[in-house]
Homo-oligomer: A and B are copies of this chain.
Amino acid sequence: MRKSIATVSLSGSLSEKLAAIAAAGFDGVEIFENDLLASPLAPEEVRMRAADLGLRIELYQPFRDFEAVPDDLLARNLRRAERKFALMQRLGADLLLVCSSVSPEALDDDALAAEQLHRLAELAGEFGIRIAYEALAWGRHVNTYEHAWRIVEQAGHPGLGTCLDSFHILSRGSDPKGIEAIPGDKIFFLQLADAPQVAMDVLQWSRHYRCFPGQGGFDVAAVVAHAVRAGYRGPLSLEVFNDVFRQADAGRTAVDALRSLIALEEAAGTAVLPEPVVPSGFAFAELAAADTEPLRGLLGALGFSRTGRHPGKPVELWQQGEARVLLNTTAGHLRDGASITALGLDAADPRAAVRRAEALLAPVVPRRRTFGEAPLDAVAAPDGTELFFCGTELPGWRGDFTPSAATAEPTGITAVDHVAIPQPWHHFDEASLFHRTVLGLRPDESLDLADPYGLYRSRAVANATGTVRIALNVAPGPEDAEARPQHIAFATDDLIAAARRIRERGGSFLRIPANYYDDLDARHELDPATLAELRELDLLYDRDEYGEFLHCYTPTVGRVFFELVQRTGDYRGYGAYNATVRLAAQHAGRQQPI
């Protein structure tokens, strides 16, 4: 199906929006009136600009407060409409969106509304224009799609149809099944938006919190499926009012938007994409730093050994159990300290994984940029982390490294449990959609974590077995996302033993306040010996209905630190309850004299 987006969904001037929409690969565009009014381009110039960019102008919108009014007001409204029809002719737009009236002057009279919309369609016809009538969720008398359709049907004019909007339908809890009762050729337009499931005033919800399909809690795919079953053959068009997107880079938002429509078509069954190749584990995590000496020290203390060295590049492989970390000093442009630059993901079919990613507009990283000799397929996540799809046959990428024997005594670390990566503030929803659709990971609920200097939002994505888990975090504001700490959590089956061994060899952990353990005692009634051990070793504890969780943290190097975790039973979380204490301790550590 053709793919379109309303200009109001993006930031910038009308010229910038059109350029971003075309560059992302949309077929068409809805021109939002305010964008045109604020533009120095004449309507004819906008028409030419769109044509040059290969964009069809699918719709002009909105026309408000037209129908079911007294005669004198009708005359004024028809005059107003006539001016807009003239403008649309100059613009080359042949479909006008008319929203159900919110005016106190509108009467609750369907017959009158139908008669006046008939007159409007008649007038529009003289300009070669058609009318799509839509129920706003907060319309004064008409606020459901069924009601808008009844009026359109009653009006009985070939140039008058209805416009469906998934937000207006789903925010009111209307059943979208009824869409199939509308003849497909009377559905003139289909607007799509998702939104988080929150209880709030519907007007505010609509104006500030809409998001792209798949980023909220609505079943937008069902609306599409019903409309297609009804016979709708027009474009799928995104209309999203969102405070964050208004500030974000238009080019990037447009790509995010188009990805959401591509995934939506798959979900609605109107298009087929290459199947997702869900990663089955972490092959490695790569850390880059100008000086990797502090990281070597930290990994050594944790019981990792350098088990491989690249013959031609300054890249080392450090390993313990199935946990593998690459240390890379090629990235000389990096500021001091370390950061996570890439994740290796075990994928049964790397090429298929890339095909899926490409179909969903993920930027493919040129193969020559892989670190080894064996070509690796990689795409870039929205946060810039490179995701390498690593075949599961041995030696694979590991064959590029000159092996050396493990030298350190292991401490019981078995694998990477999860990786936590801060996300750019303006692109948190994009990141969640990306990981879900491109990698086939399942998002958890979004959580608030109280840092002493603001709330973090955190959302984990994971595969079904929990062998790949990525925590996407976003800081309270748009500033300095690049300075936010990242971390890798290693799994162990016996954290108490591991912590003891690490301490014996000189490793240390983040100090946890004594008050935390007093509260743990009050809340969980742990046996005194266990509590004493947790207290002694600075271990944190959590439990849910499925199991228990023990964890602790290393000091931070650059922007990177490590966590050690032990999951017992089927504990599903990440110790979020303890985040406040951990974040405060990390801040306190930073404030200490070095």
Tell me the A residues contacting B by CB distance below 8 Å.
11-13, 16, 33-34, 36-43, 76, 79-80, 83-84, 87, 198-201, 204, 207-208, 243, 246-247, 448, 450, 452-455, 476-479, 511, 513-516, 518-519, 521-523, 525, 580-581, 583-585, 587-588
Contact = CB atoms under 8 A, between A and B. Distances in A.
Contact of A522 (B41, B80, B448): B80
A529 to B, nearest CB: 18
Given A38-B580, A39-B513, A478-B477, A453 B519 contact: no
A204 B87 CA distance: 44
Top 4 nearest A-B pairs (CB, nearest first) are: A38-B584, A83-B522, A200-B200, A247-B454
B246 A476 contact: yes
Contact of A454 (B246, B453, B454): B246
Given A34-B581, A199-B201, 11 more contacts: A13-B588, A33-B519, A34-B580, A37-B581, A38-B513, A38-B515, A39-B515, A43-B515, A208-B455, A247-B476, A477-B478
A204 B204 CA distance: 15
Contacts of A453: 11-12, 246-247
Contacts of A198: 200-201, 204
A203 to B, nearest CB: 9
B518 A87 contact: yes
Contact of A37 (B13, B16, B476, B519): B519
Contacts of A79: 522, 525
Contacts of A243: 454-455, 476
Contacts of A450: 34, 246
A516 B37 contact: yes
A423 to B, nearest CB: 16
Nearest to A247: B454
Nearest to A243: B455
A192 B516 CA distance: 28
B585 A38 contact: yes
A580 B37 contact: yes
21 contacts: A11-B454, A13-B452, A13-B587, A34-B581, A37-B513, A38-B452, A38-B513, A38-B581, A38-B584, A40-B585, A79-B522, A79-B525, A80-B522, A83-B518, A83-B522, A199-B204, A200-B200, A200-B201, A208-B455, A246-B455, A247-B477
Contacts of A580: 34, 37-38
A246 B523 CA distance: 26
A102 to B, nearest CB: 16
A585 B13 CA distance: 9
Contacts of A587: 13
A201 B521 CA distance: 33
A452 B454 CA distance: 28
B476 A477 contact: no
Contact of A513 (B40, B199, B518, B584): B40
A73 to B, nearest CB: 12
Contacts of A448: 207
Given A200-B199, A587-B13, A522 B246 contact: no
Contacts of A515: 36-39, 42-43, 87
B76 A525 contact: yes
Nearest to A199: B201
A172 to B, nearest CB: 14
Contacts of A80: 522-523
Nearest to A518: B87
A207 B204 CA distance: 19
A282 B531 CA distance: 67
A363 B36 CA distance: 46
Most chain B beta-carbon contacts within 10 A, residue among A36, A40, A452, A525:
A452
Contacts of A38: 452, 513, 515-516, 580-581, 583-585
Contacts of A452: 11-13, 16, 38
A581 B84 CA distance: 18
Contacts of A525: 76, 79
Contacts of A476: 243, 246-247
Contacts of A514: 42
Most chain B beta-carbon contacts within 10 A, residue among A37, A243, A523, A584:
A37
A558 B525 CA distance: 64
Most chain B beta-carbon contacts within 10 A, residue among A43, A450, A521, A523:
A450
Contacts of A42: 514-515
Contacts of A477: 247, 477-478
A581 B477 CA distance: 28
A541 B516 CA distance: 62
Most chain B beta-carbon contacts within 10 A, residue among A36, A87, A477:
A477
A594 to B, nearest CB: 17
A530 B33 CA distance: 23
A87 B87 CA distance: 73
A209 to B, nearest CB: 11
A42 B513 CA distance: 8
Nearest to A583: B38
A11 B451 CA distance: 9
A34 B588 CA distance: 15
Contacts of A43: 515
Contacts of A12: 452-453
